[in-house]
Chains A and B, each alone.
Chain A
């Protein structure tokens, strides 16, 4: 079958807050949910300054490692977990999700799939936020990376959850991904 040419991306621009955030967008589970954790961090630019006009989305399996294919991400009723969330950064470049710990897929390490958009960033960037202590040595992506860059994909554990900072550029620049099989 003939491949269609893909539509190019463009920056999310400075007015992303008009179109994208919605009530409860970063609350993948209710605060009373057993096992609720926080995943949070700051988005930085190449000068080390926080990026206050970025948007982060995550996709993840549940704690059992299985995907939840359920509608309701925009109107979560009774905090039903769908495995997807969105959070615009605040004035300090900070984002935060209340979610569940993703389980490891069979034979792999557990991670949050992450995509980031920002004013000044002309196309989205994909990455992964791996859980520390997960079976990281088994992961093909991490194994293939230069040791000096692996840490950019691994969350730090902290009380009540995980921290994952994103560096769009600079000494600690996050490893960003291109997916094999894309037509790009």
Chain B
């Protein structure tokens, strides 16, 4: 497997941590709210980032609209990752909810949110994940839902465990849930990862640290919310998602598409 063939040289965690610190020092105080695409501590990024700058363009009409999804596309039970198997999954049952908003604060209504994640033991239900942690026969780790009119999404799931990977020696990812989000425009498409508060692995993880602005990267951390928690059933986490720009702004500017 290609994934297992990288990296060519296996660094220690202290060496990776030092690389992370050097880059953080270089970018201190600079406005970099998105991950650096060229981020050597994440070894797999070396050959997978463009070296030329992105070219700035006015979005065309097709880029100012997002695909429409509806009740025909998404079954409400898909938002319950603890269901659909003969038994209950093992682990800490959690509710993850929040709003999808655009940068002006308007809710993104009726849009698709997709998630995937490891099980409570940190094992993905995926053939490429062969590390010796148990598969849970009652947990696949995939869900989707449509946002409510106020932009709210909500999933019932199991808190994922941290998992090891091969970026460097003794590399572990902080526990996370992958999120795929659509805005109201193609330009707002976002795939990211939601993390849990207080994870001891944050400082060691080159994927999380690729967002060099410490304030920006905290936007990926959910908050524990006791109002979301349900008695004797599940603890609750809240995480709002803000997608870039908004179609309304472009429309008001009457953008010239030429």
Contact = CB atoms under 8 A, between A and B. Distances in A.
B37 A121 contact: yes
Nearest to B185: A179
> How big is chain A's contact interface, by range?
35 or more
B72 interface: yes
B147 to A, nearest CB: 14
Contact of B39 (A17, A72, A122, A181): A122
**Interface SS of A by simple majority:** loop
Interface string B206-242: 0110110000110110000000000000000000111
Given A18-B124, A176-B55, A121 B243 contact: no
A83 B67 contact: yes
B67 A180 contact: no
B201 interface: no
B101 interface: yes
Interface stretch (B10-18, B20-28, B84-92, B248-256): B248-256
A122 to B, nearest CB: 4
Contacts of B51: 46, 169, 173
B31 to A, nearest CB: 10
Interface residues of B, number: 84
B162 interface: no
Contact of B244 (A20, A102, A111, A182): A182
Contacts of A7: 190, 192, 219-220, 240-243
B49 interface: yes
Interface stretch (A33-41, A57-65, A157-165): A57-65
Contact of B129 (A10, A15, A113, A138): A15
A177 B57 contact: yes
A175 B244 contact: no
A123 B69 contact: no
Contact of A174 (B35, B42, B50, B60): B50
A176 B220 CA distance: 25
A136 interface: no
Contacts of B125: 18
A82 B35 contact: no
A120 B44 contact: yes
Contacts of A73: 67-69, 73
A139 interface: yes
13 contacts: A5-B219, A7-B192, A19-B141, A20-B114, A45-B48, A59-B63, A60-B62, A82-B68, A122-B42, A122-B49, A140-B57, A169-B50, A173-B50
Interface of B: 2-3, 33-37, 39, 42, 44-52, 54-63, 65-70, 72-74, 101-105, 112, 114-116, 124-126, 128-129, 140-142, 165, 178, 180, 186-187, 189-193, 207-208, 210-211, 216-217, 219-220, 240-245, 249-250, 253, 255, 257-258
Given A15-B129, A176-B50, 11 more contacts: A4-B104, A7-B219, A13-B178, A45-B48, A51-B48, A59-B66, A67-B62, A122-B36, A145-B55, A178-B57, A179-B56
